[in-house]
Chain A
Amino acid sequence: MDVFNAIVQVLDSTIRLSVPLLLACLAGLYSERAGIFDIGLEGKMLVGAFAGAAAASVFHSALIGLGMAILISVAFAMVHGFASITHRGNQIVSGVAINFVAAGSTIILGQAWFQQGGRTPALQPGERFEAIVWPGAEAVRDVPILGPIYAELISGHSILVYFAFAMVPFTWWVLFRTRFGLRMRAVGENPAAVDTAGISVAWLRYRALICTGILTGVAGAYLSMVQNGGFVKDMTAGKGYIALAALIFAKWKPVNAMFACLLFGFLDAAAIRLQGSPLPLIGKVPVQFMQALPYVLTVILLAGFIGKAIPPRAGGVPYVKER
């Protein structure tokens, strides 16, 4: 039973750790499907996390915090769009710039406003998104097998967790069942086809980036207002890049993206769980090794196990009308 409980706990933290990856990964999916590479997911999450925690703490409202996170993150996405769509700049350079601006500005503004070394004040109850306990969760907790699964895995997460997982089928539906999705996929493959069909390439790509901004904003809010009780500098810690890796791993498909993010989340959760505990045969493994494991596996998986991943063909190329 101990083993079972341990597994449930690892899976529970897998879900929690996957959520920001999943949100960022879906965010990247919108922009890359529309043909805009977005290496700035990391930066947008970070500003979202900061804006969310700061606003929640000042206005004492989790919802205002979330709104602010989305607003600022979308604003950064629009900067990326302005540089790379309107002015046809290099998308990688623009994305990297956004990451730098995000990393620097959050610390400076945080210090200027709150004087806590770049942190925001610890969020109080009501300023954070609380776990939602599903009906009957406590009552069935002692039922063997199903009880803990219901109580731990399904119940007891914040609204943002359910939102993230609901976005998976929603994104699939948008992509493959709506006009917007059809056009967005088309503009990422052959913008000239979209242009000659009489649709604005730029406006379509901007709308895709708005979707990206909303999702990275929620991802940031999750980090600072759910996982943590406030903003800490550089708290995204490379999650934006892992999300990009997951996106490639998922071949730009929403359901695959969910599984890829769950896998990365699981590696992370397992690493935390196994820290300091001796493994059979191998013995005690250094903490650093366990922490590095998800990244090592990422490299191995990406290098050898996903086959050929074909990105959207117009990805990274600014659209210029042919003469």
Chain B
Amino acid sequence: MAQAAIELIGINKSFGAVRANRDINLEVARGTIHGIVGENGAGKSTLMSILYGFYQADSGEIRVGGKPVSINSSNDAIALGIGMVHQHFMLVDNFTVLENVILGAENDALLKSSIAKARSELERLEREYGLEVDPDAIIEELPVGLQQRVEILKALYRGAEILILDEPTGVLTPAEADHLFRILKQLKEQGKTVVLITHKLREIMAITDTVSVMRQGTMVATRVTKETTVGELAELMVGRRVLLRVEKGQSEAGAIKLSVRNLTVKDSRGVTMVDDVSFDVRGGEIVGIAGVAGNGQSELLEAISGIRHAVSGEVMLEGKPVDLTGKADPGELRDRGLAHVPEDRHHVGLVLAFEENENSILGYHDDERYLKGPFLKVDVIMADARDKIEKYDIRPGNPRLKTANFSGGNQQKIVLAREMEQDPGVLIVGQPTRGVDVGAIEFIHKRLIAMRDQGKAVLVVSVELDEIRSLSDRILVMFAGRIVGERGPDATEGELGLLMAGVEHQEAAE
């Protein structure tokens, strides 16, 4: 076996009463890509933060290149050749690429020589690893994929031999993620060591050499990637068998509940985002809208749910028209049986500073059930929240806890519980499992199918193709604001991928 680049021996770390890492042992061989998987809150990020000097371990030993080291700050880690690409980029948005790269690694008190050095270094790195980026571009004007590249460049500029990436693909489009993986492979070929933290098992299978699984603060297993399966990893992560593809029966489509005709939506700049879209959703079926992010799905959802102004077209909810001027009262639509789980739960779906019980009725707080005159019936609301917590297995099960303190998956469950428990006729869901871990995905998928089986009309928009294929009874593919095709649930990934890339659409136009 190749020499170990990093060894962690008996690492412990607690935050108050929470033991984030217990007795962790980990060995990563030099020149390999090592994956660390685990659900949200399993302690992956804490472990890597210890390695990067952001926190200090309560006990345990770290060895880099075989030598015991103490890492008390990011500076120590950088000096040992450890670089980190954080999940939330540590970039200064209004600085140029060059300024971000040299920040903290300047030659001397004046910037001139540092900038000149960085410029030639970036050229070298671009040649060696194909890491192209304009050194004078302003960060906030770059797409997310390129911003991430700047983070990688920052680490390499500091001479990183070991690169840690924390959930690097969460913000990337599939094409950007593929490009990232090519870069990582190239780094590996050049002898760098890569540690990839993720909860997406497909990525682990696609790119890593070895993989370690964490669960509830402990390291439960390490495997050679070739010798394991997605199923085994998922089971190790969650601690029980997980259905990666939910089982469902045939749909029994009933009457049309939601009907969209010739809908056209423009954004604030006047660009057409949704272009003459028509489709129906019947009771008892799940219609999935697939597409690469940014092809008008968000705008479509917002228009249907009455948040965004539509230029033309018509939306019928249970046979009655929806006001598309953008001034529709979402409350009125709720009363008419439309429930909406928005794509962006942090900004639209929840008030993170509120307690769980407050969020669990938000939007329905005017309902007579929760009101006595102008006053909220706190005891009813609390009982209601506890009920939902139990039904949807929301953890921790404390309705008084601030919503921001729940994990992504549990926050999503709070929103889903709120919307589904209103017993709506039509449920529209944007990105049902974005940032949600494996166990919760299974749960959410089961719930959505249960809604369908009760005869509700369900419209799901997701950029995760697997999700669309596993949930939908009919799949609509959106590209450049138009629906470019409809397929059954047995459509292959390749077929849908071509539609999503607009290939067939362009051929048809020619």
Q: Mark A186-203, 1 if CB is under 8 A from B, else 0.
A: 100110111111110000
Contact between B109 and A178, CB atoms less than 8 A apart: yes
Residues of B contacting A313 in the complex (Cβ-Cβ under 8 angstroms): 93-94
Residues of B contacting A197 in the complex (Cβ-Cβ under 8 angstroms): 74, 90, 103-105
Residues of B contacting A189 in the complex (Cβ-Cβ under 8 angstroms): 92-95
Residues of A contacting B74 in the complex (Cβ-Cβ under 8 angstroms): 195-198
Given contacts A182-B99, A182-B106, A182-B111, contact A198 B73 (CB under 8 A): yes
Q: How far is the CA of A194 from the CA of B102 in the complex (A)?
A: 11
Q: Is A87 an interface residue (CB 8 A)?
A: no
Q: Is A308 an interface residue (CB 8 A)?
A: no
Question: What is the chain B residue whose CB lies nearest that of A179?
Answer: B106
Q: How far is the CA of A193 from the CA of B110 in the complex (A)?
A: 20
Question: What is the chain A residue whose CB lies nearest that of B100?
Answer: A193
Residues of B contacting A193 in the complex (Cβ-Cβ under 8 angstroms): 90-92, 100, 103
Q: How far is the CA of A194 from the CA of B91 in the complex (A)?
A: 9
For the complex, count residues of A whose C-beta is within 8 A of B.
23
Q: How far is the CA of A198 from the CA of B73 in the complex (A)?
A: 7
Of B75, B91, B93, B111, the contact of A179 (CB 8 Å cutoff): B111
Question: What is the chain B residue whose CB lies nearest that of A323?
Answer: B15
Residues of A contacting B105 in the complex (Cβ-Cβ under 8 angstroms): 197
Q: Mark A300-321, 1 if CB is under 8 A from B, else 0.
A: 0000000000000100000001
Contact between B95 and A183, CB atoms less than 8 A apart: no
Q: Is B78 an interface residue (CB 8 A)?
A: yes
Q: Is B112 an interface residue (CB 8 A)?
A: yes
Contact between B110 and A182, CB atoms less than 8 A apart: no
Q: Is A289 an interface residue (CB 8 A)?
A: no
Q: Is B227 an interface residue (CB 8 A)?
A: no
Contact between A186 and B111, CB atoms less than 8 A apart: no
Contact between A196 and B110, CB atoms less than 8 A apart: no
Q: Is A185 an interface residue (CB 8 A)?
A: yes
Contact between B111 and A177, CB atoms less than 8 A apart: yes
Q: How far is the CA of A189 from the CA of B99 in the complex (A)?
A: 13
Question: What is the chain B residue whose CB lies nearest that of A313?
Answer: B93
Contact between B103 and A177, CB atoms less than 8 A apart: no
Contact between A198 and B75, CB atoms less than 8 A apart: yes
Q: Is A134 an interface residue (CB 8 A)?
A: no
Contact between B110 and A179, CB atoms less than 8 A apart: yes
Cβ distance B349 to chain A, nearest Cβ, rounded Å: 22
Of A177, A182, A190, the contact of B90 (CB 8 Å cutoff): A190
Q: How far is the CA of A299 from the CA of B104 in the complex (A)?
A: 40
Question: What is the chain A residue whose CB lies nearest that of B99?
Answer: A182
Cβ distance B138 to chain A, nearest Cβ, rounded Å: 12
Cβ distance A35 to chain B, nearest Cβ, rounded Å: 11
Q: How far is the CA of A160 from the CA of B292 in the complex (A)?
A: 61
Contact between B92 and A190, CB atoms less than 8 A apart: yes
Q: Mark B67-92, 1 if CB is under 8 A from A, else 0.
A: 00000011100100000101010111
Question: What is the chain B residue whose CB lies nearest that of A180?
Answer: B109
Q: How far is the CA of A167 from the CA of B364 in the complex (A)?
A: 58
Cβ distance B143 to chain A, nearest Cβ, rounded Å: 19
Contact between B112 and A177, CB atoms less than 8 A apart: yes
Residues of B contacting A190 in the complex (Cβ-Cβ under 8 angstroms): 90-93
Q: How far is the CA of A182 from the CA of B105 in the complex (A)?
A: 11
Q: How far is the CA of A182 from the CA of B108 in the complex (A)?
A: 12
Q: Is B54 an interface residue (CB 8 A)?
A: yes
Q: How far is the CA of A323 from the CA of B106 in the complex (A)?
A: 28
Interface centre among B90, B93, B103, B112 (most CB of A within 10 A): B103
Given contacts A189-B95, A196-B84, A198-B74, contact A178 B111 (CB under 8 A): yes
Question: What is the chain B residue whose CB lies nearest that of A197?
Answer: B104
Cβ distance B163 to chain A, nearest Cβ, rounded Å: 14
Residues of B contacting A176 in the complex (Cβ-Cβ under 8 angstroms): 111
Contact between B104 and A194, CB atoms less than 8 A apart: yes
Residues of A contacting B93 in the complex (Cβ-Cβ under 8 angstroms): 189-190, 313
Residues of A contacting B73 in the complex (Cβ-Cβ under 8 angstroms): 198
Contact between B54 and A183, CB atoms less than 8 A apart: no
A125-160 contacts to B, CB under 8 A, are: none
Of B15, B84, B102, the contact of A182 (CB 8 Å cutoff): B102
Question: What is the chain B residue whose CB lies nearest that of A310?
Answer: B94
A63-93 contacts to B, CB under 8 A, are: none
Cβ distance A171 to chain B, nearest Cβ, rounded Å: 15
Cβ distance B213 to chain A, nearest Cβ, rounded Å: 23
Residues of B contacting A321 in the complex (Cβ-Cβ under 8 angstroms): 54
Q: How far is the CA of A183 from the CA of B103 in the complex (A)?
A: 7
Q: How far is the CA of A197 from the CA of B106 in the complex (A)?
A: 11
Q: How far is the CA of A3 from the CA of B75 in the complex (A)?
A: 64
Cβ distance A88 to chain B, nearest Cβ, rounded Å: 18
Q: How far is the CA of A226 from the CA of B62 in the complex (A)?
A: 62
Cβ distance B318 to chain A, nearest Cβ, rounded Å: 44
Of A179, A186, A196, the contact of B109 (CB 8 Å cutoff): A179
Q: How far is the CA of A183 from the CA of B90 in the complex (A)?
A: 13
B13-57 contacts to A, CB under 8 A, are: 15, 52, 54
The 7 A-B residue pairs whose C-beta atoms are closest, nearest first, are A197-B104, A198-B75, A193-B90, A198-B74, A179-B106, A196-B90, A189-B92
A residues near B (Cβ < 8 Å) are: 176-183, 185-186, 189-190, 192-199, 313, 321, 323
Supply 6 A–B pairs (Cβ within 8 Å), ascending by A. Answer: A178-B109, A179-B109, A189-B94, A196-B54, A196-B86, A323-B15
Known: A182-B103, A193-B100, A196-B84. 16 other contacts (CB 8 A): A179-B109, A179-B110, A179-B114, A182-B111, A185-B92, A186-B95, A186-B99, A189-B93, A195-B74, A197-B103, A197-B105, A198-B74, A198-B75, A199-B103, A313-B93, A321-B54
